[in-house]
């Protein structure tokens, strides 16, 4: 198991190098001189030259790259042009909001997705199955921004139960935090439950047909025990794959939902940076997202090995 973890960690290094290279190269995709793009048309040549020096654009490309790696490895992602502060600080300040939103949504999506999917599989081709699958399809088809707006209208504007937006840090007030996260997390969850439920259903249907489930049935174990103890662990592998993909997708979804609910998360930071061409922030944000993706994939792979002994020794 330890060697599996080590091998898996080592194999993520090349990906990290590639991702960071692409992030670095981003600045060169801008047509013309980046420095003049950052500043508006009224900037003087001196201001542009200053910015060029500040961004290191006057150096040869290999030395720019070296210094980029040097800075990134020491945790320095540069200075935001717009916010006039360290990019790393700006990201770290907003990261917990995005991560907690995504984690909440993921937790509930996995919980209810597996529950509904399993129920559908066990009741295959009966009304329970068909109604669950209809709901799952509905959840899949609803755009998250639309659902978010509807929820705001109903629960914030009309019923007045929950705030329509904004963020309360968990360290200040737990109830306030929970209230501020309820609608965004729910919005994000609903759109992802369908994926997990459908995957769970098909994985469970496949597993329930397997010989070893029949063996477990032949032992006279109760049906719920057979489903939970014998079938579900075997169905978890494909479910986990989907969950990994969804976890990445949730970060993307969080960008939209943060916008709708006015949450100051990483998504809004990046969107703001894109709109104002704040390149250091875009670079830092992308790098951060890529690292999160890598970590998620690493966790998924480790969970595979935890679930399936054949992966561990393979």
Q: Which stretch binds another protein (CB under 8 A): 54-62, 75-83, 182-190, 229-237?
A: 229-237
Query: Does the protein bind another protein through residue 211 (CB under 8 A)?
Result: yes
Burial category of 75 from C-beta neighbours within 10 Å (exposed 0-12, middle 13-18, buried 19 and up): exposed
**What are 191's two structure tokens?**
């759109």
Q: Which stretch binds another protein (CB under 8 A): 45-53, 224-232, 251-259, 292-300?
A: 224-232
CA atoms of 37 and 21, how far apart (whole Å): 21
Closest CB to another protein among 53 and 209?
Answer: 209
CA distances from 200 to 121, 196, 209, 271 (A): 8, 6, 14, 34
Q: Which stretch binds another protein (CB under 8 A): 24-32, 57-65, 155-163, 222-230?
A: 222-230
Burial category of 31 from C-beta neighbours within 10 Å (exposed 0-12, middle 13-18, buried 19 and up): exposed
Query: Does the protein bind another protein through residue 218 (CB under 8 A)?
Result: yes
Closest CB to another protein among 122 and 273?
Answer: 122
Query: Does the protein bind another protein through residue 59 (CB under 8 A)?
Result: no
CA atoms of 88 and 78, how far apart (whole Å): 7
Q: Which stretch binds another protein (CB under 8 A): 89-97, 128-136, 223-231, 262-270?
A: 223-231
Query: Does the protein bind another protein through residue 1 (CB under 8 A)?
Result: no
**What are 294's two structure tokens?**
């890598």
The contact pattern for another protein, residues 82-121, with x = CB under 8 A and - = no contact, is ----------------------------------------
- Exposure letters 120-145 (e unless 16+ CB within 10 A, then b): bbbeeeeeebeebbebbeebeebebe
Q: How many other β-carbons are positioned within 10 Å of the β-carbon of residue 171?
A: 8
The contact pattern for another protein, residues 114-133, with x = CB under 8 A and - = no contact, is ----------x---------
Would you tell me which residues interact with another protein (CB under 8 A)? 124, 210-212, 214-223, 225, 229-230, 233-234, 307-310
């Amino acid at each position: 198991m330890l060697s599996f973890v080590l091998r898996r960690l080592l194999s993520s290094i090349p990906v990290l190098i590639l991702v960071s290279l692409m992030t670095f190269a981003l600045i060169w995709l801008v047509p013309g001189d980046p420095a003049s793009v950052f500043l508006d048309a009224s900037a003087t040549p001196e201001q542009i030259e200053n910015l060029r020096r500040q961004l290191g654009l006057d150096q040869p490309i290999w030395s720019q790259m070296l210094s980029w790696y040097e800075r990134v490895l020491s945790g320095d992602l540069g200075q935001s042009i717009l916010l006039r502060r360290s990019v790393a600080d700006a990201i770290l300040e907003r990261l917990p909001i995005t991560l907690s939103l995504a984690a909440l949504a993921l937790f509930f999506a996995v919980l209810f997705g597996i529950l509904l999917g399993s129920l559908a599989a066990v009741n295959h081709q009966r009304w329970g199955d068909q109604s669950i699958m209809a709901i799952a399809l509905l959840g899949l088809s609803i755009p998250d921004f639309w659902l978010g707006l509807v929820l705001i209208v109903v629960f914030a504007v009309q019923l007045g139960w929950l705030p329509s937006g904004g963020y309360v840090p968990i360290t200040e007030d737990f109830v306030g935090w929970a209230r501020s996260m309820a609608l965004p997390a729910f919005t994000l969850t609903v759109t992802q439950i369908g994926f997990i439920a459908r995957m769970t259903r098909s994985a469970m249907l496949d597993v329930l047909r397997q010989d070893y489930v029949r063996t477990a049935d032949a032992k006279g174990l109760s049906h719920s025990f057979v489903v939970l103890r014998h079938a579900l662990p075997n169905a978890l592998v494909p479910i986990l794959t989907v969950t990994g993909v969804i976890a990445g997708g949730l970060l993307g979804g969080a960008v939209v939902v943060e916008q709708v609910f006015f949450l100051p998360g990483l998504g809004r930071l990046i969107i703001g940076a894109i709109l104002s061409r704040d390149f250091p922030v875009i670079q830092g944000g992308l790098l951060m997202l890529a690292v999160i993706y890598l970590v998620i994939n690493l966790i998924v792979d480790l969970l595979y090995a935890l679930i399936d002994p054949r992966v561990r020794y393979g």
